[in-house]
Structure 1
Amino acid sequence: MPGASERSPTGALLTCGAVAGPLFLFVVAVQDYTREGFDPRRHLLSMLSLGDGGWVQVVNFVLAGLLNLAFAAGLWRMPRPGRGGAWGALLIGGYGAGLVGAGLFRTEPAFGYPAGAPEGLPEEYGLSYVVHGVSFFVVLLSLVAACAVFARRFAVAGDRGWALYCAAVGVALPVIYLLAGVLSDRGQDARPLSLLLRLLALVGWSWAALLAVRIRREVRGDGGRRRGQPAG
């Protein structure tokens, strides 16, 4: 009965994860090219939370985080200990919580945005900037660890394609981040940093959304029997 699983709480929670990444990236893309004075080649994605209309990106971060927390709850409800297990749910939950933190605590104005901001990096950083940075690391580390957990899960299940995909994303994310740091001169030219961090978001957020789609198919295939049990 696929219809029963589609109406189940678990299926609905997993769907939240499938929606979160694409919605976040779409809202960012729209803002990149409609926000006055904002240049996505130079200004970091997080800086969309600043200035007039910054509330849109704040909501975007928080909503994406809450949707991924719902995704984590869906994973937690699934049985079959050892195939993703509790760690998969907890790490996706860490990813969601990090996004909420990144939304509630904003970065500092820099690189000429918003109007009146310093042309390079600010000389002093407030608490909000620090917590925003910590939230980003929670997102990154949670995703990398989740990739490792799910790579093993799919390898044990005999799904070589998904195991390799998870492993590849788990390697790509820290590599992209390190390249962003190496190629950025930390001065007035933030183009490498901005573009590479957008690539990181595209790769990581898309992986989490596709993972939700993949696991939801498993739930449908089980005819809705996977309900109300923790992942182990």
Structure 2
Amino acid sequence: MATVTTTPTAVTTRTRTLLTAGAVAGPLYVVCWLSQALTREAFDLTRHPASLLANGDLGWIQTANFIVAGLLSLAGAVGLRRTLTGRGSRWAPRLLGAYAVGLLLAAAFPADPAAGFPAGTPADYAEISLRGMGHFVAGTIGFTGLIAACFVMAAHYRSTGRTGWARYSTITGIAFFAAFAGLSAGAGTPPTILAFGAAIILAWTWITATCFHHRR
């Protein structure tokens, strides 16, 4: 009987491809989000989170952005699982995978129109539909997974002597948790919206850096 053997080089190549997918998810997401934020009528970065872009005639663009980012992040989580050993090697990829699932669920359950977006929506409109509740659940799943992944990876890096990466992961987790909590407590005020947008960029930068680090 013939035996098919997978060489280490082939496995490494697949893993590098998966981690590359995870690394490019963030830049693609951020570019797509900010491009829409700066060009779509009535959208204001100080008043509207990225999720609201899934509304209106061009809402399909942000929905596609969620899907692509989710699938690429899921690939990155698989690649990370293949490279990690030791403390956190099982849970960190799973938690990053939970973030990816949250993105996919966000595409399935778009956020409700709010605060004057899309154009024509009353400025004080803030009703929550069933799909809006689904979006909230998606965000809770995804963001909780992301925050936890930062702390688990920080523990992993400390256990392997990479203190710089441990600090980076911890700071990212704390900053994102603070921004998410501030957004929830601040009811969408401009400072909390801007802080959360900055935290999204910080988190995606961490994911990209982490995937590239393990890709090497």
Which residue is equivalent to 2:141? 138
CA offset digits 1:159-214 (Å, max 9, x no partner): 110011111111111112223344x3x4xx74223212211211112111111111
TM-score (ref. length: structure 1): 0.84
Q: Which runs of 5+ in 2 are unaligned?
A: 1-8
Counterpart selection for 2:110 from 106, 109, 125: 106
Which residue is equivalent to 1:223? none
Specify the SS of the correspondent of 1:33. helix
Counterpart selection for 2:49 from 44, 48, 59: 44
Specify the SS of the correspondent of 1:39. coil
Confirm or deny: 8 A CA contact 2:73 2:97 kept in the other structure: yes
Aligned residues: 208
Does 1:155 find its partner at 2:158?
yes
TM-score (ref. length: structure 2): 0.89
CA shift at 1:6, angstroms? Answer: 9.4
Residues 182-193 of structure 1 correspond to what in structure 2 (within 5 A)? Answer: 182=185, 184=186, 186=187, 190-193=189-192
Does 1:87 find its partner at 2:91?
yes
Residues 193-204 of structure 1 correspond to what in structure 2 (within 5 A)? Answer: 193-204=192-203
CA offset digits 1:52-73 (Å, max 9, x no partner): 2111000001110000111111
Identity within the alignment, %: 38
Question: Whose relative contact order is higher, 1 or 2, with alpha carbons under 8 Å and at least 6 apart?
Answer: 1
Does 1:174 find its partner at 2:181?
no
In 1, Cα distance between equivalents of 2:57 and 2:19: 34
In 2, Cα distance between equivalents of 1:115 and 1:49: 13
CA offset digits 1:124-153 (Å, max 9, x no partner): x21110111111111211111111111111
Residues 200-219 of structure 1 correspond to what in structure 2 (within 5 A)? Answer: 200-217=199-216
Computed over aligned residues only, the root mean square deviation of the Cα atoms, in angstroms, reads 1.8
Specify the SS of the correspondent of 1:85. coil
Task: Specify the code of the residue in structure 1 equivalent to 2:146.
Answer: L
Task: Specify the code of the residue in structure 2 equivalent to 1:197.
Answer: F
CA shift at 1:79, angstroms? Answer: 5.7
Which residue is equivalent to 2:119? 115
Confirm or deny: 8 A CA contact 1:43 1:190 kept in the other structure: no
